[in-house]
Structures are given as C-alpha cells and as structure tokens.
Amino acid sequence: MGDHRRRVARERRERMRERLIAATMDAYRKSAGKRRPVIDDVIRAADVSRGTFYKYFDTLDEVLTEIGRTTASEMLQSFERLFEPLDDGAVMLATGPLMALARAAMDPAHGAIVSHADLVDRINGDDPRRQLAFRSLNYGREQGVFQFDSIEAAFDLVIGTSVEGARRISRTGQLNGACIRETVVMILLGLGMKLPAARIAVAIAWQRLQDASEHLHWWKPVTPV
C-alpha cells in the first residue's frame, strides 16, 4: 500500500511538472515575441497558484533550462536516428543549424525559448548541442573540409549564428527556406569552405532534413523556395 501511494504521488508530481512546462510553452506561444513571459503568465496558463509553481520550480529560468535540456537531447537523438551514418563533415555540421532555424519558424515559442540568452550561456561540456557541434567540427577539420585553429571559436560561430537566427525567425514565425539555407552557407564559409562546396553541402543537408520530416513531430509542410 505504501509503495502504491508513493507511486501515485510521484506520478501526480510528474504530471504537474509537465503541466507547468506546457504552460510555459503556451505563454511563449501567446506572447508571439512581443515580450518575455513572466511567472504570472505561466500560472495563469496552467490555472494553478503561485505557491504551486514554486513547489516545482524556483524561477522561470529553471523551467526554460529544463525545456532547453530536453530539446537538446531530442535534437541529438533525432540526428543520430535519422541522419547517421554521415561521412561528410560539412553536411553533418549544416544539419544542426538547419534543424534549429527551421524549427524556430515552425514552432516560434520553441525558438524563443532555446535562443534565450541565459540558456545559451549554459551550453556547457555535457550539453548535446555542444557535443554534436564539436563532433561535426572535428570531423570536418580532419577531412580537410574546415579550416580553423580554435574549436571554441568555431563553436561560437555556429551557435551564435544559429541562436541569433532562431531569435529573429521566432519573432516573425515565417519560414523562408532560402534565407535559412543562406545563413547556414555563411556559417560554412566562416569555417573556411568555398562557396560552391558550401552551397552543395547545405542543399544536401536540407534535402535530408525534408526526407526525414515525417519523423520530426514539430515539422510542418514547406514549399520549395
């Protein structure tokens, strides 16, 4: 009987935690990039008291961190399941920013959350986004595709461009495939690739992403641009 009560209590806590996370996403979705939601917006969306919120999270940033961590793990799992094995470092690297920018357009609330400055500051050594980017950068450098000395500088280029792009796109909610691809081409140019090769790599990565779109729960149909 005691085990049953503990299990029921744990499940109730998990449901409430998920409810607060969903309410945070809803609050960001409704804000449409006009202003950053606050705790009052979240508790109103979840229809709970402020005290209930503080039983599960100390701050709104704590909710955002959990969303960011979950999203990062989801992104890595999607990449590994759908796109490996890849033997082209440039295509491998391009896939990450393309996924981030496309999702920001298709799910603006998600884009606004993951591009939040405090979350970006927390992309540390064990973050899946960092692991994926470092792996792609190292692989591309070993292949002679990328030219750089500092992998930290290369990482900042990739993440910084992706985050700023996601932030801008999430405010408009508009998917411009050509602009997204051009943004990623510019990342590859910054890593030392020539323009024709960079465009080919991005085109291949974009096509692979569209081919796998039915397995990405956030994907919405797009028209070729």
The reply to whether 37 and 73 lie within a common domain is no
Confidence of residue 154 (pLDDT cuts 50, 70, 90): very high
Q: Write down which residue in 33, 58, 83 finishes a domain.
A: 58
Does residue 133 share a domain with residue 169? yes
CATH of the domain at 205: 1.10.357
Given this model, what pLDDT does residue 123 score? 57
Given its phi and psi angles, is residue 32 left (phi above 0), alpha (psi -120 to 50 degrees) or beta?
A: left
End position of a domain, from candidates 14, 32, 58: 58
Within its chain, how far is the Cα of 179 from the centroid?
18
Judge whether 224 lies within some domain.
no
How many Cα atoms occupy the beta-carbon half-sphere of 171 within 13 Å?
Answer: 11
Looking at the domain assignment, is residue 36 inside a domain? yes
101 shares a domain with 36? no
Picking from 1-15, 37-51, 188-202, 204-218, which range would have the lowest pLDDT averaged per residue? 1-15
Q: What is the per-residue pLDDT for 8?
A: 76
Average pLDDT, integer, range 47-67? 89
- Calculate mean pLDDT across residues 74-95: 80
Statement to judge: residues 34 and 107 lie in one domain: no
On whether residue 223 sits in a domain, the answer given is no
Average model confidence (pLDDT) for the chain?
Answer: 84
159 and 129 Cβ atoms separated by less than 8 Å: yes
Say yes or no: 29 and 112 in one domain. no
Task: Classify residue 135: in a domain, yes or no.
Answer: yes
Residues 88 and 33 grouped into a single domain: no
Q: Are residues 12 and 91 located together in one domain of the fold? A: no
Residue 1 has pLDDT above 70, yes or no: no
Whether residue 38 sits in one domain with residue 79: no
Task: Give whole-number Cα distances, 113 to 46, 73, 147, 210, in Å.
Answer: 18, 15, 32, 24
Do 113 and 204 belong to one domain? yes
- Number of domains comprising the chain: 2
How many CA within 13 A on the CB side of residue 23? Answer: 21
Distance, in Å, from the CA atom of 214 to the CA atom of 217, rounded to the nearest integer, reads: 7
Q: What is the pLDDT of residue 144?
A: 95
pLDDT over threshold 60, residue 63: yes
141 and 120 in one domain? yes
Give me the domain span that covers residue 196: 66-215
The pLDDT assigned to 124 comes to 60
pLDDT at 166 over 80: yes
Looking at residue 68, its pLDDT comes to 76
Is 221 contained in some domain?
A: no
* Digit-coded pLDDT (tens) for 4-26: 678 877 888 999 999 999 898 88
pLDDT tens-digit profile of 121-148? Answer: 455 666 777 888 898 999 999 999 999 9
pTM for the predicted model, two decimal places: 0.78
With CA atoms as reference, report the closest residue to 99 among 215, 223, 225. Answer: 215
